[in-house]
Amino acid sequence: MDPYHYDREAIARSTYAILQAPYELLVDELEDLLFLAAVALRLEHAVPHRIGPVGWVTSHQNIVLEWRDNEFNFAEVCARAINLALAQAWLDDFLAAVCPGEKDPKAAMMDYMVELEELSLSRQRDIPVTFAVQAFLMTEPETGARQAVLAALAQAE
């Protein structure tokens, strides 16, 4: 039996329940909310718990729904969301290690944000944060070599 086969009565009951929903929820809004909730459930087991899947989806709901509206299917939207959430976690870990105690580490590291974002979104994101932090801190800041190191890490194979 197909696990995704729902009988006519189940669909009819759900349709009726949506139409009779309190607070005059619009069907489009409910569809958006259910889609966002489904993405959050997929994120729950794919990203570190400290990210908070529901909070992450809430903060990024515009882009998640934009991906869906641009005809990406659910699996593609989830893959993109997971990639973006993991990139954010990697970047947060890097910034916390390089700027401990800094109230706004992104502002303190603004000169390096382009390279850091490229690295966090690259396929090389599996480079341990500690290695990237060590390479960054051991590189001379005045010569522009730090940007070059981060760019090289993003391109490493």
| pLDDT at 80 (0 to 100) | 94
pLDDT for the residue numbered 66: 95
| Radius of gyration of the chain from its Cα atoms, rounded to whole angstroms | 21
Count the alpha carbons within 13 Å of 68 in the hemisphere toward its beta carbon.
Answer: 17
Contacts of 4 (CB under 8 A, 6+ apart): none
Query: What residues contact residue 78 under an 8 Å CB cut-off, 6+ apart?
Result: 39, 42, 43, 46
Q: What is the pLDDT of residue 125?
A: 58
Mean pLDDT, residues 70-97 taken together: 92
Q: Would you place residue 97 in the very low, low, confident or very high pLDDT band (cuts 50, 70, 90)?
A: very high
C-alpha 149, offset from chain centre: 25
Residue 11's H or E segment, with its range, is helix 8-19
Token duo for residue 148: 């070059």
Mean pLDDT throughout 49-56?
A: 86
pLDDT at 108 over 80: yes
- pLDDT above 90 (res 78): yes
The pLDDT mean for the chain works out to 86
Of residues 123 and 109, more confidently modeled:
109
CA distances from 35 to 10, 23, 27, 41 (A): 19, 19, 12, 10
CB 79 within 8 A of CB 87: no
The whole-angstrom distance between residue 17's C-alpha and the CA centroid of its chain comes to: 32
In this prediction, residue 57 carries a pLDDT of: 93
**What's the rounded Cα separation, in Å, for the pair 7 and 19?**
19
Q: Which residue's entry shows tokens 């890490």?
A: 153
Given a cut of 60, whether residue 3 has pLDDT beyond it is yes
For residues 104-123, give the mean pLDDT.
87
